[in-house]
Amino acid sequence: MRIGFMMNFNRERVDFAKKAGFKCCELKVSPEDDFFPGKPGWESRASDVKGYFDSQDIRISCLAGFYVNHMDPAREEEYKKLVRNSILLAEKMNVGVVAGFSGRIKEKFLLRDSLQKYKEIWSEHARFAEDRNIKIAFEHCPLGRFFTTCEGSNFFCSPEAWDMAFNEVPSKAIGLEWDPSHLVCNFIDPLSNMRIYGSRIYHVHAKDAHVNRDIMSRYGNCYPGAMEHCFAGFGDTDWNLVIKELHRLEYRNDLNIEGWHDRVYRDEGNRKMEDEGLILSLRYLEQFVIQDREAA
């Protein structure tokens, strides 16, 4: 297990990661990248990108490829191609996991109302991924107001939806990009959740949240500031127990910090504060992770 953060491919950022002591990354990819499938010469460029990460001993844990609403009827075909190409790129770069959102029919209130569309879209993608030995990891961010599951655009946003989804599309190619911040904001205990769904955790976002009890006790949870996303080490998750449980589950991937959500350690026109937060979170998590264990 290694610790990294989400990034676009940029040699300067890779060099920063190396210097700071990060050992992995979740690489954000899109059709705008010259190494993305469909671009002229993409395969050669993808090999070059992977080679640069390898030269800096930065492992690519996951490709962040499709954080969009796949159930938007105006863009459904475009997004199907996006998922397929993300999987093809992962295969080319020898990265075992691709990540994003599942999509949701936004005008439908109940999660179950999106289930059939989910089955239609993701059964096909699951077969495509299985054929290439790639895992699909859904981040379970609700994308709703005040971090709740109401009125969001991501069906795969709560254990209720996971149960339905795993039943309707039983392929083991589909699992979780597990992120405790979304559980904390919905008063779900991360550790208990891991013990139920641990076999489906394919990638972990090292992001946390803090419940500001003074605000919540006065105004309730659906109020600005009651729930606050933050770097790991500044929130309510017991990361020591989470990481121990990941080892118990024989989790074989990494922890990648999602940095720009913290309301304090965030950039205002430069990277100074966000990078400070990344490094502080790294130092905190390093208490519980020996990053060079593979070589020990």
294 confidence band (pLDDT: 50, 70, 90): low
pTM of the predicted structure, to 2 decimals: 0.94
User: Do the domain assignments include residue 255?
Assistant: yes
User: Do the domain assignments include residue 16?
Assistant: yes
Task: List, for residues 120-165, the tens digit of each pLDDT value.
Answer: 999 999 999 999 999 999 999 998 777 777 778 999 999 999 999 9
Place of tokens 């989470």: 242
Q: Are 215 and 225 in contact (CB under 8 A)?
A: yes
pLDDT value of residue 269: 63
User: Do the domain assignments include residue 242?
Assistant: yes
Angle of helix 239-248 relative to helix 272-285, nearest 10 degrees, comes to: 60
Task: List, for residues 190-235, the tens digit of each pLDDT value.
Answer: 999 999 999 999 999 999 999 999 999 999 988 888 899 999 999 9
- The torsion defined by the Cα of 180, 112, 153 and 82, in degrees rounded to 10, comes to 90
pLDDT value of residue 271: 58
User: Do the domain assignments include residue 38?
Assistant: yes
Which residue range(s) make up the domain with 215? 3-287
84 confidence band (pLDDT: 50, 70, 90): very high
Residue 222's SS3 state is coil
User: Do the domain assignments include residue 296?
Assistant: no
What's the CA angle centered on 183, arms 109 and 87, to 5 degrees?
Answer: 80
Structure-block tokens of residue 54? 């390898």
User: Do the domain assignments include residue 139?
Assistant: yes
The dihedral of CA 220, 225, 230, 236: what is its sign?
A: negative
274: pLDDT strictly greater than 50 = yes
Instruction: Using alpha carbons, select from 178, 181, 180 the residue that is nearest to residue 200.
Output: 178
Please state, in angstroms and rounded to a whole number, the distance separating the CA atoms of residues 161 and 192: 17
- Quickly list DSSP for 86-128: HHHHHHHHT--EEEE-----TT--SGGGGHHHHHHHHHHHHHH
Give the number of domains in the chain.
Answer: 1
Q: How many CB atoms are closer than 10 A to CB 35?
A: 20
Residues sharing a CB contact under 8 Å with residue 264, sequence separation 6 or more, in sequence order: 230, 273, 277
Structure-block tokens of residue 198? 């641990």
Residues sharing a CB contact under 8 Å with residue 127, sequence separation 6 or more, in sequence order: 171, 173
Q: What is the CATH number of the domain that holds 247?
A: 3.20.20.150
Q: Are 121 and 129 in contact (CB under 8 A)?
A: no
User: Do the domain assignments include residue 294?
Assistant: no
Please state, in angstroms and rounded to a whole number, the distance separating the CA atoms of residues 72 and 194: 31
User: Do the domain assignments include residue 295?
Assistant: no
98 confidence band (pLDDT: 50, 70, 90): very high
